[in-house]
């Protein structure tokens, strides 16, 4: 360290680092590196293991290798394709290897400067012309006279760079920062946390990240830093969760309902555990056209218990397609309404909102409970009426899209907010609806498609979790088959056979674009083809997003009544339609749909006692899409499908469009680091058990760190 004196800190500018001058500092600035702290946390993109530099004689094709030798020749020539080919020869006395670049004349210039000198190169070794070995576009650097060879005989960090910034500049700055500053690093994790989770101290880990002793020490270092990232997030979520439990919420007097309601029967139906929700159970039974599954009953029980508690409910209900979340939501809504409050149910799309609306009208109308719809496409007059009904309290149940959280919307006494999440809302929208409530309303979030556990914990860690892990009885697992386009005739024949046996079929038209109009066109085309060419003798209906709600409902009703044999549809049927006699679904161009979406679609069949089939018609255009189709053939388990989807697509995609305020990690990866997330979650719970506000002196750095995490802003300020 040059004479910066005693007052240097991690905020010292990199230009004051030994071996880094203003010029290099400027280059580092391009990477966003300004201070010593920045460079210490600027981690390598990957590492080259140069601890074993092979002799060139021992080099084999097909492996990424680091080699060292004298640059004995550099030549440049034009190729027939009009490109510039640069070829250099590296020699270490045992053998030679060729280094090849295309169209990078500056590389030739650099190489010519050092011809005759020693360089180190890293790259994939391939067999070149005449069985000689070569590397294409290797990374390389000059071995300076004063460089210890030992410096290279190690695992070397390779940093992510931007144009004009050379590797050596970052390496030098990082090495210098570690040498002179790493002892200034204070560990936000206490001895106790480190010991309990078998983690290494921060300064050791930072050094290993930049200069690993071995792959194992690197793993330990990375593991600890990942843990730390997850720990901060989990602390925020758990604190948030505890905070909500300290708020004064609505205590719905569910157990006393029988006393409130005239003529209610005594607790004949009271659960064995002695609670007195018997009357409400009776009403739920009367309202629903089927017997609830054990899982549904359990989850409804959990929700009602939450609703009775004096603090606000904040619960996530997770359940596979067709597990019957609507009935669960309706039971929660019924409880809220019976206790004299309004309820709201928010869905991510208009179609889904309308579908929920129709379903809820069917359930609540006979009970004299008013259901209100709020969606963007309503006319000004319809909107005004809907808003009046919500604000005046006339509508006890309010269903809609995000129109529900738009500015002018007010509720008279909103006690329960149900959010059918489907991955499309974020924490922000959740909070927005909550803020429209009467004091602190209860919040119920439902996910229609299962999300892998790691994502659930990171995105919904502030929520209590209920899982509907049982499907309604009598459902046979759907058999799924992937067929190639040229097998279409056979597919059509199979469908015909099933229809002749008295069943019905869905045809889902290919997803052409996001545009409603294009989708409609595709559905109309398929409808035309099936009506006129394939099944002129059968009754074929059509359903798409541009139809009016009444028209849609009419077509669905015809299909339900079995006035139609086949329903051609866009993804509109992803939600809501429930026809047990429909036992086969043909999905055209299945490649174009996401895995989770296909699973969702498929959930429309397999609802009755007959064996159901899902036929995916698709070309496998690449290994990924082939893999996805195979997964669907192999399993009907939504959670497994969600895990696979996460592996193939990465977390950003699975959760849908990234909203602002979505969580990002520097090192942690939700696909691979799931187990660490689990440990961090347990650790966070443990820490907060002992120190619920992180107010102890030894936790001050942790608290500080949490406040620094910008992406957590959406998760509500940690006060």
Task: Extract the tokens encoding 49.
Answer: 């293991």
Q: Which is nearer to Mg ion, 65 or 600 (CB)?
A: 600
Q: What residues between 435 and 454 interact with Mg ion by CB under 5 A?
A: 448
Contact partner, 372, from Mg ion, ligand ADP, none, Cβ < 5-8 Å per class: none
Q: Find, among 449, 415, 436, 433, the residue nearest to 333 by Cα.
A: 415
Q: Which is nearer to Mg ion, 323 or 454 (CB)?
A: 323
Classify each residue of 541-575 as buried b or exposed e, where b means 16 or more C-beta atoms within 10 Å of its C-beta.
Answer: bbbbbebebeebeebbeebbeeebbbbbbbbbbbb
Q: Which of 71, 316, 327, 715 binds ligand ADP (CB under 6 A)?
A: 327
Q: How far is the CB of 238 from Mg ion (least distance, A)?
A: 29
Contact partner, 323, from ligand ADP, Mg ion, none, Cβ < 5-8 Å per class: ligand ADP
Dist CA 479 CA 460 (whole Å):
33
Q: Which of 322, 450, 461, 651 binds ligand ADP (CB under 6 A)?
A: 322
Task: Extract the tokens encoding 45.
Answer: 């993109």
Between the alpha carbon of residue 192 and those of residues 199, 203, 279, 687, 702, the distances in Å are 10, 17, 51, 10, 13
Binding mask 292-331 for Mg ion (x = CB under 5 A): ---------------------------------x------
Q: What residues between 28 and 67 interact with ligand ADP by CB under 6 A?
A: none
Which helix (H) or strand (E) covers residue 543, if one does?
strand 540-543
Q: How far is the CB of 714 from Mg ion (least distance, A)?
A: 26
Contact partner, 472, from Mg ion, ligand ADP, none, Cβ < 5-8 Å per class: ligand ADP
Q: What residues between 282 and 321 interact with ligand ADP by CB under 6 A?
A: 290-293, 296, 319, 321
Give phi and psi for 415, each to the nearest 5: -105, -20
Q: Which is nearer to ligand ADP, 90 or 641 (CB)?
A: 641
Q: How far is the CB of 234 from Mg ion (least distance, A)?
A: 29
Q: What secondary structure, in 3-state letters, does 130-196 show?
A: HHCEEEECCEEEECCCCCCHHHHCCEEEECCCCCCCCHHHHHHHHHHHHHHHHHHCCCCCCHHHHHH
Task: Extract the tokens encoding 200.
Answer: 């290494």
Q: What residues between 554 and 583 interact with ligand ADP by CB under 6 A?
A: 578
Q: Which is nearer to ligand ADP, 330 or 336 (CB)?
A: 330
Task: Extract the tokens encoding 37.
Answer: 């702290």
User: Among all residues, whose Cβ is closest to ligand ADP?
Assistant: 324
Q: Which is nearer to ligand ADP, 472 or 686 (CB)?
A: 472
Tell me, by CB under 6 A, how many residues bind ligand ADP: 16
Contact partner, 319, from Mg ion, ligand ADP, none, Cβ < 5-8 Å per class: ligand ADP
Contact partner, 290, from ligand ADP, Mg ion, none, Cβ < 5-8 Å per class: ligand ADP
Binding mask 458-477 for ligand ADP (x = CB under 6 A): --------------x-----
Binding mask 237-276 for ligand ADP (x = CB under 6 A): ----------------------------------------
Relative orientation angle of helices 325-338 and 294-308, to the nearest 10 degrees: 30
Between the alpha carbon of residue 141 and those of residues 31, 36, 54, 96, the distances in Å are 20, 25, 17, 17
DSSP 304-356: HHHHHSSSPPEEEEEE-TTS-HHHHHHHHHHHHHHTT-EEEEE-SSHHHHHHH
Q: What residues between 409 and 448 interact with ligand ADP by CB under 6 A?
A: 448
Q: Which of 325, 436, 604, 699 binds ligand ADP (CB under 6 A)?
A: 325
Dist CA 421 CA 450 (whole Å):
11
Dist CA 286 CA 712 (whole Å):
44
**Would you tell me which residues interact with Mg ion (CB under 5 A)?**
325, 448
Interacting residues toward ligand ADP by CB under 6 A: 290-293, 296, 319, 321-327, 448, 472, 578
């Amino acid at each position: 360290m040059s004479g910066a004196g005693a007052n240097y800190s991690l905020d010292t500018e990199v230009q004051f680092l030994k071996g880094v001058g203003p010029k290099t500092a400027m280059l580092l600035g391009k990477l966003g590196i300004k201070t010593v702290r920045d460079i210490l946390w600027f981690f390598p993109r990957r590492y080259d293991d140069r601890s074993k530099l092979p002799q060139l004689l021992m080099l084999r094709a097909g492996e990424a290798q680091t080699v060292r030798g004298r640059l004995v020749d550099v030549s440049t020539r034009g190729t027939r394709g009009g490109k510039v080919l640069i070829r250099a020869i590296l020699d270490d006395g045992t053998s030679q290897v060729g280094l090849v670049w295309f169209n990078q004349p500056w590389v030739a210039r650099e190489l010519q400067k050092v011809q005759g000198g020693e360089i180190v190169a890293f790259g994939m070794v391939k067999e070149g012309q005449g069985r000689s070995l070569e590397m294409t576009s290797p990374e390389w650097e000059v071995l300076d006279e004063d460089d210890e060879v030992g410096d290279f005989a190690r695992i070397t960090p390779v940093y992510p760079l931007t144009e004009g910034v050379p590797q050596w500049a970052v390496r030098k700055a990082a090495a210098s920062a570690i040498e002179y500053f790493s002892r200034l690093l204070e560990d936000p994790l206490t001895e106790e946390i480190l010991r309990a989770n078998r983690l290494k101290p921060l300064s050791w880990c930072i050094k290993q990240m930049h200069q690993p002793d071995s792959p194992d020490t690197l793993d330990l270092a990375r593991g600890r830093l990942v843990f730390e990232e997850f720990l901060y997030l989990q602390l925020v979520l758990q604190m948030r969760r505890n905070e909500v439990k300290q708020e004064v919420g609505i205590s719905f007097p569910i157990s006393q309902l029988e006393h409130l309601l005239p003529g209610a029967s005594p607790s004949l139906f009271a659960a064995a555990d002695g609670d007195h929700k018997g009357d409400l159970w009776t009403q739920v039974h009367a309202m629903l056209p089927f017997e609830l599954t054990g899982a549904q009953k359990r989850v409804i029980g959990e929700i009602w218990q939450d609703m009775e508690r004096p603090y606000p409910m904040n619960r996530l209900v997770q359940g596979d397609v067709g597990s019957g979340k609507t009935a669960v939501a309706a039971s929660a809504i019924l409880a809220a309404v019976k206790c004299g409050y309004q309820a709201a149910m928010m869905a991510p799309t208009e179609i889904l909102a309308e579908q929920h609306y129709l379903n809820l009208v069917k359930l609540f109308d006979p009970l004299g409970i008013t259901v209100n719809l709020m969606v963007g496409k309503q006319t000004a007059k319809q909107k005004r009426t809907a808003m009046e009904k919500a604000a005046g309290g006339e509508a006890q149940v309010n269903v809609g899209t995000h129109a529900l959280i738009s500015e002018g919307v007010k509720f008279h006494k909103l006690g329960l907010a149900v959010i059918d999440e489907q991955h499309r809302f974020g924490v922000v929208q959740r909070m927005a609806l909550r803020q429209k409530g009467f004091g602190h309303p209860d919040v119920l979030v439902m996910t229609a498609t299962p999300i892998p556990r790691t994502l659930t914990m990171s995105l919904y860690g502030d929520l209590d979790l209920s899982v509907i892990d049982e499907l309604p009885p009598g459902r046979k697992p759907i058999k799924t088959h992937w067929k190639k386009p040229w097998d279409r005739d056979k597919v059509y024949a199979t469908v015909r056979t099933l229809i002749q046996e008295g069943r019905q079929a869905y045809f889902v038209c290919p997803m052409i674009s996001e545009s409603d109009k294009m989708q409609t066109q595709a559905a109309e085309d398929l409808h035309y083809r099936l009506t006129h060419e394939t099944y002129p003798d059968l009754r074929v209906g059509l359903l798409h997003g541009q139809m009016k709600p009444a028209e849609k409902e009419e077509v669905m009703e015809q299909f339900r009544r079995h006035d139609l044999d086949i329903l051609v549809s866009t993804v509109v049927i992803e939600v809501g339609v429930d026809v047990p006699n429909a036992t086969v679904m043909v999905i055209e161009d299945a490649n174009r749909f996401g895995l989770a979406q296909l699973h969702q679609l498929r959930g429309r069949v397999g609802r009755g006692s007959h064996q159901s089939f899902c036929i995916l018609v698709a070309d496998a255009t690449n290994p990924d899409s082939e893999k996805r189709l195979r997964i669907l053939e192999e399993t009907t388990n939504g959670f497994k499908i969600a895990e696979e989807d996460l592996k193939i697509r990465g977390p950003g995609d699975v959760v849908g469009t990234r909203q602002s305020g979505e969580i990002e990690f520097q090192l942690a990866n939700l696909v691979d680091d799931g187990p660490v997330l689990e440990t961090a979650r347990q650790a966070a719970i443990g820490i907060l058990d002992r120190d619920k506000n992180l107010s102890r002196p030894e936790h001050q750095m942790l608290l500080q760190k949490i406040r620094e995490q910008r992406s957590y802003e959406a998760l509500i300020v940690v006060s």
